[in-house]
Amino acid sequence: TFTFNCTPSAANPPPSSYVFERDGVDIIKGVSGSILTISSLKRSKDSGNYTCVVTNEAGSVTIATNVNVLVPPSITPLSTNETVIEGTSFITPLTTTGNPFPVSSNVVIKKDGVTIRDGRITVNLGSGSGASSFTIQNVNRTDSGSYTINMATTAGSGT
């Protein structure tokens, strides 16, 4: 929940109107009150620069704030069951989302529930575009199993 309190520190005479805007577009006009509350924030529609213009007979004042809605990371595999020829490389695309976008240092790869550290097995995060990939180079029989990718950011964690 985001609450924007637009009460000026001193207003004499009292405010006659409040106009709330997001990125320069009016979202609330009138004298209904000095507080804007948004529940169930969505990054795509609620992030942005918010302003409130408070007006009375003496003039107006603008109060501003910026809202950046954080979203825990998530990763969606585009394939789930694959057969791979030994000695070849396996690459599968992934869709990665989150705000902030996850970084490689916060990615943990698990095979059959156990964290692995094998330089042949990597996740390439697509620099904020969402287009990422999972790679196993020089596949061998011991690579068979179920893989999960865990990511963490300041917004939380996801698989």
User: What is the structure's pLDDT at 31?
Assistant: 58
Residue whose structure tokens are 């095979």: 111
Share of the chain above pLDDT 90, in %: 43
Contact 126, 132 (CB under 8 A): yes
Helix and strand numbers (H, E) in the chain are 1, 14
Q: What is the mean pLDDT of residues 103-114?
A: 92
User: What is the structure's pLDDT at 116?
Assistant: 94
Q: What is the mean pLDDT of residues 91-98?
A: 90
- pLDDT above 80: residue 153: yes
Residues in the chain, how many?
159
Q: Which residues of 113-143 are buried (b: 16+ CB within 10 A; e: fewer)?
A: eeeeeeeebebbbeeeeeebebebeebeeeb
pLDDT in tens, 49-89: 999 999 888 888 899 999 999 999 988 876 778 889 999 99
Please provide residue 112's backbone torsions phi and psi, each rounded to the nearest 5 degrees. 50, 40
CA 133 to chain centre: 19
User: What is the structure's pLDDT at 78?
Assistant: 65
SS3 for 137?
Answer: coil
Q: For residue 45, what are the contacts with CB-CB under 8 A and spacing of at least 6?
A: none
- pLDDT above 70: residue 129: no
